[in-house]
Structure 1
Amino acid sequence: MNIAAISQVALALLTQFGLRVLGAIALWIVAQWLIDFGLKLMRRAFRSRQVEPTLINYIVNIVAVLLRIVLIVAILGFFGIETTSFAALLAAVGIAIGAAWSGLLANFAAGAFLIIFRPFVVGDTIKAAGVTGTVEEIGMFTTTINTLDNVKTIVGNNKIFADNIENFSANPYRRVDLKAQLHHAVDHEDAIRRLKQRISQIPHVLNNPAPDVEILEFNLAGTVLAVRPYCHHEHYWQVYFATNKAIRETFGEAGYPVPEQNYRFIEPTPDGTSASVVQRTSLS
């Protein structure tokens, strides 16, 4: 056995393999730099065209994944590995993963539709999939929503896309719906006039459209008024609470009696042989 010859062959092979490894590392570093540079140029081009930031992140992430897959295949080809069979294997793995992760792919497809059709954008306040809050991020698979009580909630895109979506930020204003109970002895016209005047003075209540105060229904206590001021979405809860306070203060200043509701029920006697009719009064 010629050890010297074997050593020379082994050294040549190791040298060749080492050069290929170094070349692969260099190729990976240079290609990664080029990919990052290209993605930056792509992001800058989209921003110059004022494309939605969420859509930019969506497209850039997809392109980045595809380019890195191509880079891995190229490096394997550099080492002499048959890339055709690898591509077939990659496709088979993709099909297997797709079957196993059908729900994840459904979220991915739903995310694409959310980006394309844009029922809402980042910063909108929405109600979807049973969650109400402000949209913080629309991702590839999930959407992040900060609820009204400041809880970060992550919801699958497919669940949002398959449900009804209420976008509270889409229209320039929204209506606040409240009720005001009157005593049956109170003149409803006087109450309506007082409420309209008082509510129109609340900050952030719009004059166009003007607040609505009308008779909604009647009950045993008296007339029920529908009190409906309009405001911009960001002022909704301020106007809601201020209107409740205005109703209470307006009726108190006017000296209106407190609404009462009388009801009757049958109360059995202790021995259970007879019953008596009892009348109670409940303050509304």
Structure 2
Amino acid sequence: RKQLTVQPARFPPVQVIIGSDTAIKFQGRDIPFGRLDVANRVQVRYGLESRTASRVSVSAAATLDKTAAKVLLATRDPGAVTGTVLDIERFPGELPHITLRDDDSQDTVTLNISTESVVLIDGAPSTVNRDLLDTEVTAIFHPDSLELIELDSQASDGYNKPIRGVIHRFVAKNLPGNLTILTRDGTIRTFSRTTDTVVRRNGRQVSVNEVRLGDVVRANTRIVNASGDAAPVLEVLSLSSPPLAPIHGTITGITNAGQGSMRATITTNKLDIIDILVDADTQVV
């Protein structure tokens, strides 16, 4: 027999049995158990005593909450520049400084490299050296300090502008149009993630199961334009976790979220309703 673990929004996880008579439906059509994947959103009907599911309905995808989207788009975006490496300077006792010329504006910017900076040469972790001179790169940096966050030598192909925004909708299965990005200007763009798509978080390759709604999409995300009206294919999906955002309001409910965690419902000063998870690592001050 097969088992399915489902995480309800406000209750502990539930394990149900998938039997030969269990109907598994996606958009009204029968699909096999093997089509289910981690992060699928489902509705399950099951017997309380037997724990056997009679029906599993698979939703098309989870979508980023409108309130969360507003908060995320209001946070400050990291600086990003795609262009040519003009110079690499090294001073005694200091880490290197790298100067780039932006392809669009033709302006130059000098970035400070720190021990936390991630440098990717042809997709592999590396260090800054003079072999990068005259190379086309994408650099992501802190606008205030000009500290380099991530540098990627596999820059865009010149035909596709950098994509910056947050994950708006995500389907774990390899289906056309299985991922949408809410861009900084509020546009929702659709893409296809395939088995060949490289997913990186903070410069390090991760499993597709680590993609989360609201993840920040970095400017060194790369796409391949598809033919006809098909959605562009993601070659590299470069992510970082969303920044912390303040919430001002009143706690209007607290429920048990299981595994030692609690879920707090907050009504903000703007009358939006937000659920947050409070666990052992949450600081209450």
TM-score (norm 2): 0.21
Per the normalisation by structure 1, the TM-score is 0.21
Which is richer in helix?
Answer: 1
**More RCO (CA 8 Å, sep 6+):** 2
Structure 1 or 2, whichever has the larger Rg, is 1
